[in-house]
Amino acid sequence: MHELVLASGNRGKLNEIAALLNQLPVVLSAQSDYGVPEADETGLTFVENALIKARNAARHTHKPSLADDSGIAVLALDGEPGIFSARYAGIGATDAQNVGKLLDNTHHLVGSKRACCFICVAVFMRHEFDPLPIICQGVWRGCLLDAPRGLQGFGYDPIFLPDGLDRSAAELEPQLKNAISHRALAFRNLVLELQAAISTTAQI
């Protein structure tokens, strides 16, 4: 088994990603298990921030690391909250506070103006100085609801209505969400890349 470190202390995210990687011979641990400090996300894109987080985890643990940077983007708000999704309502904001701010900022939008998408960029680094990290991305399209619905998931899931469905992301069974979400799409591609790496080398 290969041990990978997830550059996050979010247990909901850890469980979700572990389920997506369950077909690989890997054990996924949270960086918080190693006392890794949070990285300073100074990037201007999801790709840059994911690389910063993965490199930070690899530096402190000396282990291969996984990171993702994800968020929700509202087209009518020029892509907000985007890379600031986790701290939209301020540093240390709760999910409820972030959701509340987004609802406040979009209450005037109707119809197609409520179109949005979840974006995820997933990164794998073999070590801190990996010159060729694996980078994959996924996009999940939908629209904003007027009020939260559902108790599953985390983040903005309660106000995201995926295209083609009549339930919010927070009302979906974990198995379904893990098959169609932005994170699922990104990590599905990452799994294929990791499988190739595992099959061709002794270490990933």
CA angle 140/161/51 to nearest 5° reads 30
pTM for the structure as a whole? 0.87
Predicted confidence (pLDDT) per residue in 128-185, tens digit: 999 999 999 999 999 999 999 999 888 999 999 999 999 999 999 988 998 999 999 9
Task: Report pLDDT digits (tens) over 55-114.
Answer: 999 999 999 999 999 999 999 999 999 999 999 999 999 999 999 999 999 999 999 999
Which residues are annotated as catalytic? 69
For residue 9, what pLDDT is reported?
80
Q: What is the pLDDT of residue 200?
A: 58
70 bridge partner residues: 120
Secondary structure class of 93 (helix, strand, coil): coil
**Nearest of 76, 53, 56, 68 to residue 21 by alpha carbon:** 68
DSSP letter for 85, please. Answer: G
DSSP reduced 3-state for 94: coil
Q: Domains of the chain by range and CATH? A: 2-200 (3.90.950.10)
